[in-house]
Structure formats: C-alpha cells, structure tokens
Structure 1
C-alpha cells in the first residue's frame, strides 16, 4: 500500500513539473488540420502553401521560399485579396508569446508574455519571392475558433462562444462589417 501511494505522489509531482513546462512551450494550443494547397500570387506565381503541426511553409516547386518564424504557433492560414488591391495576401492565424513585438506602444509598461492569438497579414513580394508583413493584430478578443473566406474580400470568423462575425479590410486593419 505504501508503495502505491509513493508512486502516486511521484506521478503527481512529475505531472506538476511537466505539464506547466509543456504549457509554456505551447503544446496545448489549438492546432489546425494539416493541409496543403497551391495558390496563385502576383503575376501568375503559383506557390504551394503547407501547414504541418504549427509550422507554415510557402514553396515554389521543391524550393522553400518562406516559413513562419520559430516562435509562432500557426493554427491556420488563408489566401485571399483581403485589402481589395487585386493581389492575393496571406493571412495567418497564430499564437505567440506576448501581445506586442518590438513595437510595443509607449503607454504599455510591459509586454504580457502569455500565449495569445493574433491575425497576421502578409503581402507577397514577387521580386524577392517572399512574404512581407502588411498588418499584425494585437491579441484577439474574443479568440477565433474557426475562420474562412466568406466572399472575395470578406473574412468569416466564428468565436468560441458561437458568435458568427464578418470582417473586411479598413484603412488600417480589419473592421467588423456585420453589425448594423
């Protein structure tokens, strides 16, 4: 009996140490289904977009052109002309530590280092063959449970509470369009 209690306490101690470490590394964050598709970007350039685990990759043939940063946990991606400029943008639904990067607003005293969900929008730069940031959201409130392209320039977002919302590109960032 004492041996069983000892093993039980050991298992509880191990779980108490391991679970917070796994949580801190993002092991319990939502994962999108792995998928791959070929998408046309500027000037008829076709790229293969792939999500595997929490890593996003854009490739031309066998050559990897761009990957998501190592500190990002990519949950999903979309390719659409969100800003209505005639070219396809890449939208990543990501989890990252901290609400802001190096561009923290001056009124925010310190960056929250917990995991938070964000939408990052990238333009395809055809001369360099890579993606450049166009807009990166702060922490999403509420979070996104699912998202999809609603129309050619509108984004559908379903929240964890079941709220169905529609978003379009405004002058600087996404603007909700389904509220009267």
Structure 2
C-alpha cells in the first residue's frame, strides 16, 4: 500500500492541475470575449438600430472665396477637402449620422451642421459641478464654419436628451429635428448657439 501512495498523490495533483488549467482557460476565454465586445462597443457597433446613417458628397464654396471645397460623409466620418488637400476630418472616435450645410446664423457664410454620436456628454470643457465626464455614447450637434481656409468650431452641444432620428433645414435656415418616435422640433441660432423655438408633435 505504501508503494501506491506516490501514484495516488500524483494522480490527485494532476487532477488539481487540470482543474486549475480549466479555470484559467475559462478566465482567458472570458477576457478575450470581453475585449472583443469592448472593441466593438468603442467602434459604435452597439449604437441604436433606428439610426439612419447617411452618406453624401457635395461640392460648394464654404467661405465665399470663389474656390470650391468637397464635403464628403462616408462610413460615418466627415471629410472636407480642397482639390487633393484634406482640410478637415472628424475625430475617428465620433460617428456622424448626418450633415447639413446652410447659413444658420445669417452671416452670409455657410455653416456645417453635424449630427453625431460620441462618448461622453461634454468635450474638453464641462460644468464645474461635473467632476468627470461619463464614457457612454450620446448624440450631439456640432457646428463648424470655414474662414480663410480653416475649419473652426462655433458651437458644440453637450449630450442631447432626446433621440434625433433625422435633421433638416427649413426655409428660415432653422434646424428641424425629428425624433425616433416621430416628434418634431425647430431650433434657431440666437447669437451663441441653437435654441428651441417651436415644437410640433405628430
């Protein structure tokens, strides 16, 4: 019986090692799956299915200098170029669902209005009572203008607290929003940004 004890202990040790190996394998597999899901989440793969991702390409004179620029929205990224020179592109961590061009502040120059999704409710600046921005995706409206060949931000909203399915410009150059459930609202530029001026439920 004494001669059998080493074999028994060896078998018991092997069994324990197999259990630990199985546990470690499950742990590694779980970590890999979690990493894959995180990467897909960062890439915006889990954004709401009702989003209508628009694509377009326009040639226009954004700064009235008699030179045309090309504005292209493809694969959820916005790029603005002049001939072969890239003048501007949105951050790769932002996902643009639609873009409009119009003179919303009535300064005789075109503004670029983007409806986009990004992580965080704010940008680099946030209210003093907010200690840390969140990391969840939220909708925003960002507005840029072009001056002397440079694209400049003139207004960037914090997280929008209702779901915008589509945007358009009316004949008054106001931004009209339609929610995922069909509600409509109009927003006008008032010196510092967009302000809600009208609501129409449908």
Q: If the length of structure 2 is used for normalisation, what is the TM-score?
A: 0.75
Cα deviation code 1:33-53 (max 9, x no counterpart): 221111222223321110111
State the alpha-carbon separation in 1 of the partners of residues 86 and 46 from structure 2: 28
State the alpha-carbon separation in 2 of the partners of residues 140 and 115 from structure 1: 11
Shift in alpha-carbon separation, 1:76–1:166, aligned structure 2, 3 A: same
Shift in alpha-carbon separation, 1:152–1:134, aligned structure 2, 3 A: same
From 32, 35, 42, the counterpart of 2:56:
35
Q: Which runs of 5+ in 1 are unaligned?
A: 1-12
What is residue 148 of structure 1 aligned with on the other side? Answer: 168
From 25, 49, 70, the counterpart of 2:43:
25
Matched, 1:100 2:122: yes
Structure with more strand by fraction: 1
Shift in alpha-carbon separation, 1:141–1:45, aligned structure 2, 3 A: farther
**How many residue pairs end up in the alignment?**
168
What is the CA RMSD across the aligned residues, in angstroms? 2.2
From 59, 77, 82, the counterpart of 1:55:
77
What is residue 179 of structure 2 aligned with on the other side? Answer: 159
Structure with more helix by fraction: 2
* Larger-gyration structure (1/2): 2
What is the correspondence of 1:125-140 to structure 2 with a 5 Å cutoff?
A: 125-126=147-148, 129-140=149-160
Shift in alpha-carbon separation, 1:174–1:111, aligned structure 2, 3 A: same
SS in 1 for 2:41: helix
State the alpha-carbon separation in 2 of the partners of residues 93 and 33 from structure 1: 10
Cα deviation code 1:24-72 (max 9, x no counterpart): 3212334522211112222233211101111111111222211112221
Q: Which runs of 5+ in 2 are unaligned?
A: 1-29
